[in-house]
Structure 1
């Protein structure tokens, strides 16, 4: 059964109208299937927090809708369920902090810089920058989500750098999370670790949809570009 069919089945089995309760129910309904729970949790996390980010920003642009569709390819007969979740999140009086806290408990390991929660944050950045810029309200939203997810400040900066490097030429050292002039052997070790951690097989195992791999490839492209820029600068120094 597809992920969207399972989500549809899940939604038909609950009567709650509060999105925060929907998120919490995922834990119990899919308790016996950890893999499906990760996949459902990731999908609902992206839908719920995307809706809250749109509300914080005040508008949903066509570019942002298209960016969301790059993360999820939803069958036409399941689109109404995505719309239902999106509307529930927008209408829910609970703040996005409450959503992020429940999602962190649902998706995460309880450890700082949890990889799956970073994937959620990466997806939100992808949507936020779809219109060409991460706006001030969106960045504030993303920073707060990162705090709730226990994404350390320095790690958040590397994520931010990945998503702004093409636009403003961000320092490649930030993309790799290293101090300028770090010895090249440590640069290479850091680069290899980041590439290994972001291998597509690892992302799929964490529960991200196959469509998300296009975003993961952009992540790797930013990491590769930063490494190559540092390598060139050291070669010709």
Structure 2
């Protein structure tokens, strides 16, 4: 039981207005003690859950909207969505929610602007989380091996709505394509080794002429943005942590490959 608010309220009230002041001070102190009794941890946990749910629903509904942009959803795009659900280890309940959100996003009446406003509101002040969101959407758009003009148009709309510049989006597009090739590619021949190194530079957003200190700076910035624990703390659903880990591993591998060449 909290009493210090009542004690100080009574004392200050008595000094200011004797008995009447003491009564008022006691009442104000009681209200203060009640306020101090609020479980802020539970409140913050509720906000985190709401943020994760908003991110999760937006991820699949917007993914469905993007895949339908070219006129029809391809088998590769469906496979990407299913693969994401499997890769993220969704249980039956969350898989159903994801499927419903994906199908909702494909509908003509889907309100992309409203969905993005809700996402931005839930992730206010969490730019890294919003960047992770658009990275997932870029991967979905490239699922069939190409980027349709309408898909690009939607990606730019998403970026503007989330406060991501066109320049930053172009950087993300180059980095994600390079990341996919870097993650899948090998270095069995000199040409493959050259391509792998070029992709490593693109992942970090640097060039072969960039000084090593600036390469290291870019690497640290990207690792900070994609650190799985930081992203989850900011509201990334835990199911998506594996994707964040993979991105961090690719950034690390790209930096190590470039460092070996410097």
Q: Same fold (TM over 0.5)?
A: yes
Distance in 2 between residues matched to 1:63 and 1:203, nearest whole Å: 26
Q: CA deviation at 1:75?
A: 2.3
Instruction: Return the TM-score normalized by structure 2.
Output: 0.64
Deviates more, 1:75-84 or 1:209-218: 75-84
Whether the aligned pair in 1 keeps the contact of 2:138 and 2:155 (CA below 8 Å) is: yes
User: In the alignment, which residue of structure 2 is the partner of 1:199?
Assistant: 227
State the TM-score, normalized to the length of structure 1: 0.70
**Which residue number in structure 1 is paired with residue 92 of structure 2?**
76
Higher relative contact order (CA 8 A, sep 6+): 1
1:64 pairs with 2:80: yes
Q: What residue number does 1:85 align with?
A: 101
- Quick one: structure 1 residues 127 and 95, their matched pair in 2 at CA, closer, same or farther if it must change by over 3 Å? same
The 10-residue stretch of structure 1 (114-123 or 149-158) with the greater mean CA deviation from structure 2? 149-158
- Counterparts of 1:44-193 in structure 2, within 5 Å, are 44-57=57-70, 58-61=72-75, 62-70=78-86, 72-91=88-107, 93-109=109-125, 114-165=127-178, 166-167=180-181, 169=195, 172-178=200-206, 181-193=209-221
SS of 1:160's partner is helix
Q: Which has the larger radius of gyration?
A: 2
Task: Name the counterpart of 1:38.
Answer: 51
CA gap 1:214/1:82 in 2 versus in 1, 3 angstroms: closer
1:195 is paired with a residue of what secondary structure?
helix
Would the aligned equivalents of 2:227 and 2:245 in 1 still touch at CA under 8 Å? Answer: no
Q: Which runs of 5+ in 2 are unaligned?
A: 1-42, 183-194
How far did residue 156 of structure 1 move? 2.0
CA drift at 1:191: 1.1
1:60-83 deviation digits (Å, cap 9, x = unpaired): 524223233146433224544333
CA RMSD of aligned residues (A): 3.0
How far 1:135 moved relative to its partner? Answer: 3.8
Q: How many residues align?
A: 202
Output the CA distance in 2 between the equivalents of 1:106 and 1:179: 36
The answer (yes or no) to whether the contact 2:59–2:133 under 8 Å persists in 1 is yes
Once the two structures are superposed, what CA deviation does each residue of 1:3-38 show, in whole Å capped at 9, x if it has no partner? xxxxxxxxxxxxxxxxxxxxxxxxxxx998211111
Unaligned residue ranges in structure 1 (runs of 5+): 1-29
Q: Which residue matches 2:12?
A: none
Secondary structure, counterpart of 1:56 in structure 2: coil
Quote the residue 2:237 is aligned against. 209
